[in-house]
Structure 1
């Protein structure tokens, strides 16, 4: 009887260990809930001091058939049509060509979970020559960044620079510093980056 109990106990322990190993092996690895973006367009339209549009809009595109954040062949236009001393309305649109989805609409629908930050030498550092101001907000009056105003310094300390566009998802917008579009420590507010792309700017 004692031998039978020992054998039964050993069998149960063996079956349990097999089950645990099986579950551990077969459990799917959680995937990040990130947007797939194959094309980003920055549209600049000159505006006057009252915010009224002037002249023709300029469009600059970054694209990758495989998804910008996923590597592959990446094509990025140089931003070369802006002028010093002028202000521009900058609008961002994003598209997923793989699934034929307008990511701009998704960002608008989930605006409380998304926010753009703008870094790079054009906006930050001792030779920066641009400033950005958010011109849109979510239902909690926190910034989004799909629409904003860019002012180019009248006197340029450099005739070249970079605009780094970062889109964060599921961040804490109430975190101290998150209201600053040029906040270098944006990752402290948590979340993940759906987009991190750099455009070259020349004058």
Structure 2
């Protein structure tokens, strides 16, 4: 895997003084946001980009709230967020908006992806191990509800899974139900 790695920079934020580093994988530029000390078994969140949830505050998903939960915990306890540039379960922003339009017509998130010719989840987590190896991390406490994230790490020992429970709202209750019942998320 050919990865370019940026320098580390300070990131003062509303969550505290954090650090950032970018990992360029082809045209994708992933970001690691971290707070030292990382410790021997750091708290880690693997978060896939969600512009609508992370930046625009969309109520259709729980992504932005999960990111904020992770940032709050990383800021107070130390650890890292691996922010992967794979918008819309890696179908891209254009297709995600089209999937949203299909969801407006009654399709669930999986059906919408299938209507557009995609699998229910196109994401890949291969770069995560490269990033963790760069930081010399082989054991983590993983902030996730997604069992796929737990099973994708072959060379990293997950000592503990930290759930991220976000209350539903009337805009995302069906989305969360689909994630739980059809994708096996631990909600």
Q: TM-score, normalised by structure 1?
A: 0.25
Q: 1 or 2, which has the higher strand percentage? A: 1
Q: 1 or 2, which has the higher helix percentage? A: 2
Q: TM-score, normalised by structure 2?
A: 0.27
